Amino acid sequence: MNELSHFVDGQRVAGKSGRFADVTNPALGEVTARVPLASRAEIDDAVARAARAQVGWGNTNPQRRARVMMAFGALINENMDRLAELVSREHGKTLPDARGDVQRGLEVVEVCMGAPALLKGEFTDNGGPGIDLHSMRQPLGVVAGITPFNFPAMIPLWKMAPALACGNAMILKPSERVPSTSLMLAELLKEAGLPDGVLQVVNGDKEAVDAILDNETVQAVGFVGSTPIAQYIYGRAATNGKRAQCFGGAKNHMIVMPDADLDKAADALVGAGYGAAGERCMAISVAVPVGAETADRLIAKLIPRIEKLKVGPYTSGEDVDYGPVITAAARQRIEGLIASGVDQGAELVIDGRGLSIQGYENGYFIGPSLFDRVTPAMDIYREEIFGPVLCTVRADGYEDALDLIMDNPSGNGTAIFTADGDTARDFAHRVNVGMVGINFPIPVPLSYHTFGGWKKSAFGDLNQYGPDAFRFYTRTKTVTSRWFSGIREGGEFSFRAMD
């Protein structure tokens, strides 16, 4: 069996803790590798090495750091298929979806090629008599990224690219379920010219996470995962005096107004609800048609589209719509929530349970499920299912639909489909959600904007990538200066310079 490693000081190194986790191919349901789980001592050693490497990297001018990002971006492009295959093998995504995972991370790397412009400070000339002021953005030192299983390339790139472009060293702890992509990205960064030790990839579980949070040298932590873990990491990081941006779970709604193009709305719901097996924090998991007639027509359009979805392993080719979920436990949980929906009175229109694919009988596949007449009291509404399940909550009117979203504790993404500009504008202005789509189902901002939710979907003041990332990974220092260069008289002051 393949035994994976950490990546420390520019090379792969074996784990020393004696503890390992299994890495599984979810399409086969087979263990394909073991990944070492770092001890607290291994984390502390990696941090100490990163701190030494950061001194030189932090003093490297931003343009030279940007050139490393340029070379890194070129290498990602050259190795797109290899990276996508790693993503698919360990996560289960289809190859087109895996390429999209890499591409969205690459786009953040491309923005970081503009680091010199994004790191510029400010200057005030003659702010007082003979006094000038200027500010500069300086790196924090050693920072950490703790990333989830559902985007093995994209989210590590969202963390590492801005952090490194700002002059920091980074400890990256990827999900132990999908470690190989981060290890390959680290090797590509070394090839691109990143000095050894500036990026350390250390695999691990809660012991490694707590060691990162408790290490005094680590100045900031970025996390993406479930809401309870996001809240835990944010609280422990803040208690230890660290900056933290922690992004949690979601329950994303899409309102469908009576004037919407229902064919486009149905297509959008199928893609946003079932793509990547629903394992996306920006997936639409709740459709909210306004009015009984709209709901009936929407359900009628959804059924044939959902029934045509093809589920299978990434090796089946480009026409597969989505693959397996990440683990057998995840499938069991999803099927348990579907059962609870039935027990609590929702109408199960399409049942995806019990799917078996010839030759992949041990894979963690689950077919698409569709619920109608879901209510906010049901478990399938209250919990983030994180699987290929779309719930329909019928609303009597626009205000009822809006209230449903406003009252939900999550606030990651939302959307509305309508032909009325006034309704769309009102929705975008009033809804208490961080990312809003208008006739656009998954409103993930482009990489030169910024990504982040509201309410219990995010903890911390600053968002991921874009300008916020450069603010998060730097400190602002402001200098007030006055130079005594001789004798100046006749103004508001007069003095003689001291030798």
* Token couple for 318: 């480009």
CATH annotation of 252-438: 3.40.309.10
Cβ-count burial of 488 within 10 angstroms (0-12 exposed, 13-18 middle, 19+ buried)? middle
Q: Tokens 């920006």 map to which residue?
A: 282
pLDDT digits (tens, 9 = 90+) for 148-162: 999 999 999 999 999
Say whether 281 is catalytic: yes
1 pLDDT higher than 80: no
Q: How many CA atoms lie within 13 A of 263 on its CB side?
A: 0
Q: Tokens 């009102």 map to which residue?
A: 426
> Could you say which DSSP state residue 464 is in?
B
Within a 10 A sphere around the Cβ of 140, how many other Cβ atoms?
A: 21
C-alpha angle 47-140-467 in degrees, rounded to nearest 5: 125
Q: Which CATH class is domain 2-248+457-479?
A: alpha beta
Region of 435 please: left (phi>0), alpha (psi -120 to 50) or beta: beta
Residue of 242, 172, 243 whose CA lies nearest to 214: 242
Q: Which residues pair with 474 in a beta bridge?
A: 139
Q: Tokens 């291994």 map to which residue?
A: 42
Alpha-carbon torsion (248, 112, 175, 279), positive or negative: positive
Provide the pLDDT for residue 247: 97
pLDDT digits (tens, 9 = 90+) for 89-135: 999 999 999 999 999 999 999 999 999 999 999 999 998 888 999 99
27 pLDDT tier (thresholds 50, 70, 90): very high
**Stretch(es) of the chain classified as CATH 3.40.605.10:** 2-248+457-479
C-alpha angle 433-148-313 in degrees, rounded to nearest 5: 105
Q: Alpha carbon of 405 to those of 393, 413, 436, 450, 455: distances in Å?
A: 11, 10, 12, 22, 11
242 CB contacts (<8 Å, ≥6 apart)? 213, 218, 219, 220, 221
pLDDT digits (tens, 9 = 90+) for 266-279: 999 999 999 999 99
156 CB contacts (<8 Å, ≥6 apart)? 105, 145, 147, 172, 174, 181, 182, 185
Query: Pairing relation of β-strands 6-8 and 11-13?
Result: antiparallel
> Could you say which DSSP state residue 452 is in?
-
Please spell the DSSP secondary structure of 259-281, one letter per residue: TS-HHHHHHHHHHHHHGGGG--T
256 pLDDT tier (thresholds 50, 70, 90): very high
pLDDT digits (tens, 9 = 90+) for 410-457: 999 999 999 999 999 999 999 999 999 999 999 999 999 999 999 999
Going across the sheet that includes 20-25, the strands are 2-3, 30-36, 20-25
Q: Tokens 């298929």 map to which residue?
A: 81
* Token couple for 424: 């769309």
Provide the pLDDT for residue 489: 52
Provide the pLDDT for residue 494: 47
Q: Which of 166, 246, 281, 391 is catalytic?
A: 281
**Stretch(es) of the chain classified as CATH 3.40.309.10:** 252-438
3-state secondary structure (DSSP) of residue 116: helix
Helix (H) or strand (E) holding 246: strand 243-247
Mean pLDDT computed over every residue of the chain: 95
Q: What is the mean pLDDT of residues 283-287?
A: 97
* Token couple for 83: 């990276």
Is there a contact between 430 and 268 (Cβ–Cβ < 8 Å)? no
